[in-house]
Structure 1
Amino acid sequence: MRLSHWSYSVFLSLCLGWSGGHALAAGPALSPDMVQALESLQQRMQDGASQSEIDRAKAAARRLRNGNAANRWARALFLQLAATGEAQRGQDAAAADLFYQARRIDGVDADSRQRWLDQEARLRLRAGQTAQGAELLGEWIERHGGDRDSLWLMAQAQATMHHWSQAAEWVDRARRAGGMDADRRRLAASVYQHAERYDAALELLDAQLESGSDDPQSWRRAAALAQRMQQPGLAAALWEAGWRRGVLQGEDALERLVRLHLAGGTPARAAEYLKKAFENNTLPRDNEHQRLLAEAWTAARAHQKALSAWRTLAEDTQAAKDWRQLGELAYGWGEWSTAIEALRRAREQGADPARTWLLEGVSQLELSNETAAREAFEAARDAGASQAEAWLASLGERLGEKAPDGDSSPDEMTPQAPSGTQ
């Protein structure tokens, strides 16, 4: 993976940044002919090197391999020119190898050696030699302190290698140096997220969103971070803000908004969004979304809306689980007639007869339908409901019937009403 945020034009200006007199003065004195050859070749390569000019620089460097200090210095300068030419032509790995050769020549001054180390490191990063480039760049930064561009480049290199803890440390250092534009803010937030420093990541994303970001990924990332921080309400609020701004759009984004409101403790908002989506045909009113609507109204404890939504779903699916859910909710909320009907429909579709008969018996009893209640409790007993006998005994006492000899006393047989959910 190549590191792309480093400006190639800036890099080339560094490579070409030596003026002939200044560079030549850094080493031993060269002969006038050698100086003229170097300056002539550098001038021709200033606006773009041809392959023949690069080859000429390499050939000159090879001829000077064995010689005195002046020849070694000239060799290093020819290698620098060849490296610059290769970099101009996009041959980053080849250019890095040439800078490596130049900086290892005996007698090269410390400033040139360090400058070529820096340039080799950046070229290796550009060439995808990330581990080697990061090692060299780190060596250069530790010796020179590093400017802010170098620190951000190092953070990106560590992120490219998925070394998230190290990347986060470099981001910290780079942020102290400044120069955090939008791209670097995204890099920092991503690094913090992967390093599980969620507070820091969310802080950066919040600042970006407050500045009016129209990047959907920033809103998505912020909501995801809030969820990871166990703040579902904040995640829903962030997503809603992105939705209202028009940054987050489409069916998937709307469905995510609904689910975030459900998870974030605002189920009524989820239900309202679903209801509007059905009306506008922006989400299909299929079984999945109808069930989601029913669950949202249930979580919001909007009794009538929830029961209506579950009925619509159950009538469409004719599934035992959906009829039973309607019956259980109606029973729990004291909607006895609805409970009786739904429990019967659930039983017809194969739901547990013991529980559905028992709940139906209690519902009938609440409506003062003692005969129907007795029939339901007897059916529940026959189906294996453990509480049915107690309910029958309680019903008999209510009707003034005498318990058979040997049966438990009425106080011992007083049943506990089953809950409306299981």
Structure 2
Amino acid sequence: MPLRAVIRLIACASLLVAASAAADPPTLPGDIIADLERLQRQLQQGEHDSVGERARTQARRFEGGNAADRWASALYHQLAAGAEAGAGRHEAAAEHLRQARRTQEAPQHQRERWLREEARLRLAAGQTEEAVTLWLDWHQRHTGSVDDRWRLARALAELERWDEAAGWVERALADDPSPDERRQALASAVFQRAGQSEEALASLEAALSAQAEPEAWRRAAALAHGLGEAERAAVIWEAGWRLGVLAGEEDLRQRIELHLAAGTPARAAEYLQAALADAALPDTLANRRLLARGWEEARDRERALDAWRTVAERSDSGKDWQRLGLLAHAWGRLELAQEAMQQAAAHGAEVDPRWLTNR
């Protein structure tokens, strides 16, 4: 449990002692108030074990008495919880708060505070399911902070209760539309697992910036592509590239392939042509095929035919020559078509015999 939460528990003790003279809880005898205040000071000085032992003893001593005794018992349980939490014994601390909040003499608002703190302690103790049950109970009567909503969403995600987790992420995002990277990753994961891919993508896109990790840009583009929004994926990748977040050979190739998928093949071919000229990408047969495909899909006839001839000459593949021949024939380049088909046959492809005679 964070130190500030422990301090909050201690601070509550002094508030409760002061409240003991009010009309709501029973009035405590002066010696009990003095003992509680002394234990609180010791707790602030880090005397967890001695305070815990004394508080537990006193809590048991007074729990079966009259209304004032039961109220005193609750306060001692409160101090015992602070001592156990300070010593890192979260489950034991949570048990003391459970005992304290069962005390009917305690004001309702104080029992609600104990309920909230017990939930946090249960989570720290690894009792996620118990923590979630307590938090959901508390949230029925309280709005809570943004941190509370994120905490509950994460706990529900740990339990793989994805739909509920998504609901709490939405509530958290309503007041925290630009969460930190850790929360953003949680939101995206929860939305995806809950089958809300569009919400997951929107959440990822909202967090993209020059400071975001490259993987965040890659995830957003991949999710957009998976949703069938290739153009959106290309736009995301292009923005990441221009900001310098995405860089290097693999990212450049993905940039090109996304433009092909997005229906902007001329841009893909231009980027690839420049990359090959600058040696930003290796001049491999695979990249030459990609270039030829780009110019073909862009219907840039001369560049496409030249690119496919280069591929065919490099590969010595009958199928590549055949593809060049068919493309040339479709575009009215009959001489090139016949030459290519003759080369295709010479390299083992099955070609209509009519292509092998002079026309």
Within the alignment, does 1:50 sit opposite 2:48 as a pair? yes
Specify the code of the residue in structure 2 equivalent to 1:166: E
1:358–1:193 CA distance, 2 compared to 1 (3 A): farther
1:180–1:240 CA distance, 2 compared to 1 (3 A): closer
Deviation of residue 359 (structure 1)?
6.6
Whole-Å Cα distance in 2 between the matches of residues 359 and 300 of structure 1? 30
Deviation of residue 77 (structure 1)?
2.0
Counterpart position of 2:279 = 281
Residues 223-262 of structure 1 correspond to what in structure 2 (within 5 A)?
Answer: 223-262=221-260
Residues 25-104 of structure 1 correspond to what in structure 2 (within 5 A)?
Answer: 25=20, 27-46=25-44, 48-104=46-102
Residues 297-316 of structure 1 correspond to what in structure 2 (within 5 A)?
Answer: 297-316=295-314
Verify the 8 A CA contact 1:49 1:89 in the aligned structure 2: no
Counterpart position of 2:355 = 360
1:138-187: CA deviations, max 9, x gaps?
110102233433233323333333333222322333344x2444225554
Deviation of residue 19 (structure 1)?
4.6
Deviation of residue 235 (structure 1)?
1.4
Deviation of residue 37 (structure 1)?
2.4
Q: % of aligned pairs identical?
A: 43
Verify the 8 A CA contact 2:289 2:308 in the aligned structure 1: yes
Counterpart position of 2:10 = 16
1:306–1:11 CA distance, 2 compared to 1 (3 A): farther
- Number of aligned residues: 353
Whole-Å Cα distance in 1 between the matches of residues 277 and 45 of structure 2? 64
Whole-Å Cα distance in 1 between the matches of residues 128 and 3 of structure 2? 20
Larger mean Cα displacement after TM superposition, 198-207 or 107-116: 198-207
Whole-Å Cα distance in 2 between the matches of residues 110 and 164 of structure 1? 32
Deviation of residue 106 (structure 1)?
5.2
Larger mean Cα displacement after TM superposition, 103-112 or 250-259: 103-112
Deviation of residue 260 (structure 1)?
0.8
In the TM superposition, structure 1's runs of 4+ consecutive aligned residues that sit over 6 Å from their partners are none
Residues 316-331 of structure 1 correspond to what in structure 2 (within 5 A)?
Answer: 316-331=314-329
Specify the code of the residue in structure 1 equivalent to 2:333: E
Deviation of residue 14 (structure 1)?
3.0
**2:12 alignment partner, SS class:** coil
Deviation of residue 240 (structure 1)?
0.4
1:301–1:81 CA distance, 2 compared to 1 (3 A): same
1:320-368: CA deviations, max 9, x gaps?
43333333323322333433343334334443x2xx125725xx5xxxx
Whole-Å Cα distance in 2 between the matches of residues 278 and 51 of structure 1? 71
Deviation of residue 264 (structure 1)?
0.3
Question: Of 145, 159, 167, which residue of structure 1 is paired with 2:143?
Answer: 145
Specify the code of the residue in structure 1 equivalent to 2:122: R
Counterpart position of 2:111 = 113
Counterpart position of 1:130 = 128
Whole-Å Cα distance in 1 between the matches of residues 271 and 68 of structure 2? 79
Deviation of residue 230 (structure 1)?
2.8
**1:75 alignment partner, SS class:** helix
Question: Of 342, 358, 361, which residue of structure 1 is paired with 2:340?
Answer: 342
Specify the code of the residue in structure 1 equivalent to 2:240: G
**Unaligned 5+ residue runs, structure 2?**
none
1:7-28: CA deviations, max 9, x gaps?
9354334323315253451643
1:33–1:328 CA distance, 2 compared to 1 (3 A): same
Whole-Å Cα distance in 2 between the matches of residues 55 and 287 of structure 1? 77
Verify the 8 A CA contact 1:193 1:225 in the aligned structure 2: no
Verify the 8 A CA contact 2:13 2:79 in the aligned structure 1: no
1:10–1:341 CA distance, 2 compared to 1 (3 A): farther
Whole-Å Cα distance in 2 between the matches of residues 163 and 149 of structure 1? 19
1:316–1:90 CA distance, 2 compared to 1 (3 A): farther
Question: Of 162, 171, 179, which residue of structure 2 is paired with 1:182?
Answer: 179
Counterpart position of 1:410 = none
Larger mean Cα displacement after TM superposition, 242-251 or 16-25: 16-25
1:148–1:327 CA distance, 2 compared to 1 (3 A): same
1:63–1:242 CA distance, 2 compared to 1 (3 A): same
Deviation of residue 137 (structure 1)?
0.5
Specify the code of the residue in structure 1 equivalent to 2:217: W
Verify the 8 A CA contact 1:205 1:222 in the aligned structure 2: yes
Q: TM-score, normalised by structure 1?
A: 0.72
Residues 158-173 of structure 1 correspond to what in structure 2 (within 5 A)?
Answer: 158-173=156-171
Question: Of 274, 288, 291, which residue of structure 1 is paired with 2:289?
Answer: 291
Deviation of residue 299 (structure 1)?
1.4
Deviation of residue 241 (structure 1)?
1.0
1:260-307: CA deviations, max 9, x gaps?
111001112222222233333333333333322222222122223323
Whole-Å Cα distance in 2 between the matches of residues 327 and 128 of structure 1? 68
Deviation of residue 81 (structure 1)?
1.9
Deviation of residue 233 (structure 1)?
1.2
**Unaligned 5+ residue runs, structure 1?**
1-6, 371-422
1:169-206: CA deviations, max 9, x gaps?
22333344x24442255544544444444554444444
Verify the 8 A CA contact 1:141 1:150 in the aligned structure 2: no
Whole-Å Cα distance in 2 between the matches of residues 190 and 327 of structure 1? 49
Whole-Å Cα distance in 2 between the matches of residues 224 and 11 of structure 1? 40
